[in-house]
Structure 1
Amino acid sequence: MYARTSVTTAAALLAVTAVALPGTATAASPSASVTATASGSATGTPGGTGSPLVIAHRGASAYAPENTLAAVDAAADLGIDWVENDVQRTKDGQLVVIHDDSLGRTTDVEQVFPDRAPWKVKDFTAAEIARLDAGSWFGERWAGARVPTLKQYLHTVEANRQKLLLEIKAPELYPGIEKEILRVLRQEGWLDRAHVRQKLVLQSFGADSIRTVHEQRPDVTTGFLGTPAVADLPSYAEFTDQINPAYTSLTGDYVAAVHALKGPHNKPLTVSTWTVNEAADAVRADDLGVDGIITNNPDVVRDAVG
């Protein structure tokens, strides 16, 4: 599970605990090299002292088109270890990284396939989606960026020595997607001991989906997106290591209630909140005791709390 990090220099290398995942946002300029920054990692205890983990939402999505390889690289250039993404399934069973269940907002699908409304991801093959421009909507500089497959995304995260918070998006639309995601992760080397313990978390708004992941791979760290009632938290602790609520629902009492429980790996549950983009909100979330902050502006959050 996530562990809160102590403030370190970019060169610091601290020990990794058996289950708690390391991660930092080291003090680095946007032009900092990946090699110099991605290795800085530290561990701590949930709810303890130190800075919360900074997680780049859909990559550094304030600076590059969301969920593209460019957004992963933008996070790396900022010195951010952890990136978050969204995974869905195409008509022909391929896994692609995109947030919306429709291709309309972030690609030129309406121009390329004008007669295919409502342009749902599940209605297009991987080859068709690969034709789409997923960058021009964000700016001319990004023209030609593509919707990456999960395999392509994993390769880039690995090359950057980053870590991944993978969201299973709308699992109700894609029966069996959990098994398929785990298969790709295994094929790409992401289910070995080092990745599972240090570099990977699977999360979803679907409790059943996260329960399925836990049943199929009990060693994998999991997170539930949402704010279950405090009375229901013990039942979630049976299959998830994290409770990850929206920032707008966050209170100190709720964070404390989550931290009071242990998850399936016999470690205290942790809290990563989303989506926090302003420095003042990041400071407040830190004051409430969160273990991670998911943000479009990881440099702003890092500088505010780190």
Structure 2
Amino acid sequence: MKLFDKSKNIYLIKTISTSYENIRFSYWENLLFEAIYKILTISIFTPFISLIFNKFLYFAGFNSLTNGELIRFGLSRYGFLTFIVLTPIIIGVIFIELSVLIIISYFSNYKKRINLKSALKKAFSNIKIIFGFGMIHMALYLILLLPLFNVGANSSLIPSLSIPNFVSDELMKTTLGGILYLLVLAVIFYLNVRWIYSIHIVILEGETSFRRAAKKSSEIVKKNYIKTVVILISSIILFFLLYILLSFLLVSLICFIIWLVNKSFVYKFSPAITFVISLTLYYILMTITTPIVINTLTILYLDYCDKKNICIDNIEFTSNDKKQSFTVKHKKVILSLVIVPALLFFVITSLLVDSSIVRAVNDTHNNFKIMAHRGYTNAGVENSLEAIEGAINANADFAEIDVLQTKDNKLIVIHDTNLKRLAKKNVNVYDLTLDEIKTLQTSQNGFVSKIPTLDEVLKFSKGRIKLNIELKLHGYENNFVDDFLNILNENDFYNDCIVQSINYNILKEVNKKAPKLTVGYIVVAGIPNVEFMDIDFLSVEESIISNKLIMACRLFNKDIYVWTANTLTSIEEYYYMGVDGVITDEVKAARELIDSISKDNFQFQLNDLIQSFI
């Protein structure tokens, strides 16, 4: 069938309609299995994997795992052992979940109810595939590509992954980088769609090699690539429209009932009510998102595959009036004793954790810091005096700058070791003297400037704005820390700056020689263990931030900043999560947002609402 013939709309509607009928038919099997599996993932699988991982870290002599430590641990024998031990466990947990859902969806097409215990046995009978030669191939798909694709067919263990914003932001600053970034996204999308029926082929056709299953999937998709993509995306869009519609209707209904009782009450608490209902619906719908997508894929697979190859057996079926599965037969008991309490626990925990953080950081909110990333680049070239002036005019609390050392041991303010991006010269900072660097002109976004020295920036900023100074290393430094501290001393700038670096050793040297300085560790990736870090604050890439990390910083009296937060939505989210500030390119908009937020906002209303019931 051609994509643009008259029957395409009919086929799309028919596929989505069939998927809806199948989900409705096997709703309880899907809901109960996913709810129980998610609870097991949170309470057993994830803690068990974390326990093993932390034990290997301990044996390897690591207190935490961040930045360069990730590479060192990965290349160590303990890193290799961790990979060998945990990879099959992680693949197995993901594989079992997807396999059971595929079995349920397959038989729902024939209106047959399966016994969940039987489906689990069938899934386990195929688990030997993860120990074959295709294990790396399978790990790449289930642990990396599928979560990065993030179209709904995700596991409870690894729901989603994303490319860190700082990576995409840096790549998009150059044409070549932008092309590379788009190419990576295209490859992720292409491979996911090509291998989209791989698990179906393993389970339903009994294929014992994931590599061969992926090849068969590619052959099926090759003939129906665009149709598969269109139907999959349409299903996801309809699902989220349903989520929005349900949220709107429920919020409207509850607010209307409250309005009938007390008009002023609904105006005061409607944002909090919206938050609670949206969060509750989110947990409920996330339980059936994966079954919906798996069901749609199963319908497409059955339309495209050679049904003669399907050989699924040893499955027990149930009927409505005879031998029902235990979970379906006792669904009310399970719902009332397990799933509903668990759902309430997750919702209430989310609310109380968020509100407790807000309560604990009232002073933090009054002192929430806006840090201009490399100055305000809407006013000048990054790290230039003009950019710092822009940060001052935009009412930033800090200007974040980068410091590198030249060939003649002078400290200059610039981010890149190589000057090609800003100065259009393919030379490195460590190969040039300060006099040579001063002859260069930098340009960015229509602005031009010169590369300033650290001394010039400190004199320019003194009494006007505080600085967050990042110490950057290129490997050719000489007395770097001593020179840096001397310049701070000469300008009496100790109380007007904080110092951060991605290199923990240089922070220890700064701490030793200038213990009064406030120092912070930049976390690009990994798992920071705040307890063992002799620092004053963390500067965390936004993909790593979590309530758990924030609470750990609170417990050990360390500040935490997030970089690079460039959307108002994310800045507001981090504000309510309880971080101490953000490093952002959108300085003016961030300042206006934070200044406009008052204690009448819904999180504080939510606190009042919760307190009124206590």
Please, what TM-score do these two structures have when normalized by structure 1?
A: 0.72
In the alignment, the residues of structure 2 paired with residue 57 and residue 103 of structure 1 have an alpha-carbon distance, to the nearest angstrom, of: 19
Contact 1:60 1:66 in 2 (8 A): yes
**1:130 counterpart letter in structure 2:** K
**2:518 counterpart letter in structure 1:** T
In the alignment, the residues of structure 2 paired with residue 164 and residue 222 of structure 1 have an alpha-carbon distance, to the nearest angstrom, of: 12
Number of the residue aligned with 2:184: none
Deviation string, structure 1 residues 204-258 (Cα, Å, up to 9, x no partner): 000001111000000110010006635x32221x2x1001110121111111112
Q: Does residue 395 of structure 2 align to residue 79 of structure 1?
A: yes
Deviation string, structure 1 residues 243-289 (Cα, Å, up to 9, x no partner): 1110121111111112111xxxxxx1010110011100101111211
Number of the residue aligned with 1:138: 445
Number of the residue aligned with 2:454: 150
Higher share of residues assigned helix: 2
**2:406 counterpart letter in structure 1:** T
Q: Does residue 547 of structure 2 align to residue 229 of structure 1?
A: no
In the alignment, the residues of structure 2 paired with residue 223 and residue 173 of structure 1 have an alpha-carbon distance, to the nearest angstrom, of: 23
Contact 1:46 1:291 in 2 (8 A): no
**2:452 counterpart letter in structure 1:** P
In the alignment, the residues of structure 1 paired with residue 360 and residue 522 of structure 2 have an alpha-carbon distance, to the nearest angstrom, of: 18
Equivalent in 539, 547, 552 of residue 252 of structure 1 = 547
Q: Does residue 584 of structure 2 align to residue 295 of structure 1?
A: yes
Q: Does residue 431 of structure 2 align to residue 123 of structure 1?
A: yes
In the alignment, the residues of structure 1 paired with residue 377 and residue 564 of structure 2 have an alpha-carbon distance, to the nearest angstrom, of: 11
Q: Does residue 593 of structure 2 align to residue 304 of structure 1?
A: yes
* SS of alignment partner, residue 559 of structure 2: coil
* SS of alignment partner, residue 201 of structure 1: strand
In the alignment, the residues of structure 1 paired with residue 481 and residue 428 of structure 2 have an alpha-carbon distance, to the nearest angstrom, of: 20
Q: Does residue 516 of structure 2 align to residue 219 of structure 1?
A: yes
**1:85 counterpart letter in structure 2:** I
For residues 16-165 of structure 1, the aligned pairs below 5 Å read 47-49=361-363, 50-51=365-366, 52-108=368-424, 110=425, 117=426, 119-135=427-443, 137-139=444-446, 142-143=447-448, 145-158=449-462, 161-165=464-468
Contact 2:378 2:390 in 1 (8 A): no
Contact 1:68 1:147 in 2 (8 A): yes
Q: Does residue 477 of structure 2 align to residue 174 of structure 1?
A: yes
Deviation string, structure 1 residues 6-30 (Cα, Å, up to 9, x no partner): xxxxxxxxxxxxxxxxxxxxxxxxx
Q: Does residue 549 of structure 2 align to residue 242 of structure 1?
A: no
Number of the residue aligned with 1:26: none
Identity %, equivalent residues = 25
Aligned residues: 234
Contact 1:171 1:209 in 2 (8 A): no
Number of the residue aligned with 1:29: none
Contact 1:46 1:270 in 2 (8 A): no
- The structural deviation recorded for 1:46 is 7.9
Query: Structure 1's 210 and 65: CA in aligned 2 closer, same or farther, altered over 3 A?
Result: same
In the alignment, the residues of structure 1 paired with residue 369 and residue 515 of structure 2 have an alpha-carbon distance, to the nearest angstrom, of: 23
Contact 1:171 1:177 in 2 (8 A): no
Equivalent in 272, 279, 286 of residue 561 of structure 2 = 272
Equivalent in 490, 494, 501 of residue 187 of structure 1 = 490
Number of the residue aligned with 1:202: 499
Query: Structure 1's 46 and 64: CA in aligned 2 closer, same or farther, altered over 3 A?
Result: farther
Contact 2:409 2:478 in 1 (8 A): no
**1:248 counterpart letter in structure 2:** S
- The structural deviation recorded for 1:83 is 0.6
- The structural deviation recorded for 1:48 is 3.4
In the alignment, the residues of structure 1 paired with residue 581 and residue 591 of structure 2 have an alpha-carbon distance, to the nearest angstrom, of: 11
**2:489 counterpart letter in structure 1:** R
RMSD, matched Cα? 1.8
- The structural deviation recorded for 1:53 is 0.7
* SS of alignment partner, residue 223 of structure 1: strand
In the alignment, the residues of structure 1 paired with residue 442 and residue 566 of structure 2 have an alpha-carbon distance, to the nearest angstrom, of: 23
Contact 1:271 1:290 in 2 (8 A): yes
- The structural deviation recorded for 1:175 is 4.5
In the alignment, the residues of structure 2 paired with residue 201 and residue 90 of structure 1 have an alpha-carbon distance, to the nearest angstrom, of: 22
Query: Structure 1's 304 and 221: CA in aligned 2 closer, same or farther, altered over 3 A?
Result: same
- The structural deviation recorded for 1:173 is 4.1
- The structural deviation recorded for 1:172 is 4.1
**1:138 counterpart letter in structure 2:** N
**2:516 counterpart letter in structure 1:** D
Contact 1:171 1:206 in 2 (8 A): no
Number of the residue aligned with 2:13: none
In the alignment, the residues of structure 2 paired with residue 277 and residue 215 of structure 1 have an alpha-carbon distance, to the nearest angstrom, of: 34
Contact 1:83 1:162 in 2 (8 A): yes
Please, what TM-score do these two structures have when normalized by structure 2?
A: 0.37
- The structural deviation recorded for 1:176 is 3.0
Number of the residue aligned with 2:79: none
Contact 1:65 1:71 in 2 (8 A): yes
Contact 2:369 2:397 in 1 (8 A): no
In the alignment, the residues of structure 2 paired with residue 69 and residue 102 of structure 1 have an alpha-carbon distance, to the nearest angstrom, of: 20
